[in-house]
Copies of this chain bind each other. A is one copy, B any other.
Amino acid sequence: MTDRQDIHSSGIPALCAACEARHRGVCGALEPAQLVALSKTSSKQRVQPGAELVGDEETVDHYSNILSGVVKLTKTLSDGRQQIVGLQFAPDFLGRPFRSESAANAEAATEVSLCSFPRATIERMLRESPQLEHRILTQTLKELDEARDWMVTLGRKTAAEKVASFLLLIARNIDPARAAGAEGISFDLPLTRADIADFLGLTIETVSRQLTRLRTDGVISIEHNRQVFVGNLSRLEARSGI
């Protein structure tokens, strides 16, 4: 284990200097020399909502760090029924290591900025750097915990509880600091009603009705369809069926 201090010394690629993924993301596990090597083949990009990042069952040729925005992972049944199986936020690592084929479709839910690397580079570094693999493991465990929490929501909660749980999830991911506090919080929904329905295993009509119900009950207020204000988070929690 090298001194972590050197991360802050010179030798950091300009591209990475102000990058959040270097602190909280997987790049935090890399030493300056590795960062330099990686940044040589990396490229930042910005994509629009709806852009497909990784096609289902498509061979994956690159991995990415999410620098901003929200990415949805979806699975689709042959007859078109769709389910969102994961949401990823900055500074998550995007891609399924050790498998050339993706198990799910990754799509930008909002405008997303990415820093992507060729698959071969990451896989070489994974072999060389146990710290990197450790970071990946940590994130994977986190995703597994989240997936299992969500299975409870999908399997056992009512529509009203699902929608409340969803709002809490978003609030906590968009603004963790504020969501921990007790006062009000406002945020933009990163998903359309259709996406929320696909996430919750509901129809858009039900999502819409539950949102208006929360609104008329004074738990939330909504502007421009997307901007949500929650005056009292604990009232929302009480409806989420903890």
Contact = CB atoms under 8 A, between A and B. Distances in A.
A151 B77 contact: no
Given A144-B143, A242-B77, A85 B133 contact: no
Contacts of A98: 138, 141
A154 B96 contact: no
6 contacts: A73-B148, A75-B151, A98-B141, A99-B141, A143-B144, A147-B147
B138 A141 contact: no
A104 to B, nearest CB: 6
A155 interface: yes
A140 B148 CA distance: 12
Contacts of A157: 77, 81
A241 interface: yes
A149 interface: yes
Interface in A98-146: 98-99, 103-104, 130, 133-134, 136-138, 140-141, 143-145
B145 A148 contact: no
Given A73-B148, A147-B148, A156 B81 contact: yes
Contacts of A19: none
A83 interface: yes
Contact of A140 (B85, B103, B141): B141
Contacts of A242: 77-78
A156 B201 contact: yes
Contacts of A85: 148, 151-152
A93 interface: no
A172 B201 CA distance: 26
A55 interface: no
A50 B117 CA distance: 47
A73 B152 CA distance: 12
A137 B97 CA distance: 10
A28 interface: no
A82 interface: yes
Contacts of A140: 137, 140-141, 144
A2 to B, nearest CB: 15
Nearest to A78: B242
A123 to B, nearest CB: 12
A150 interface: yes
B77 A149 contact: no
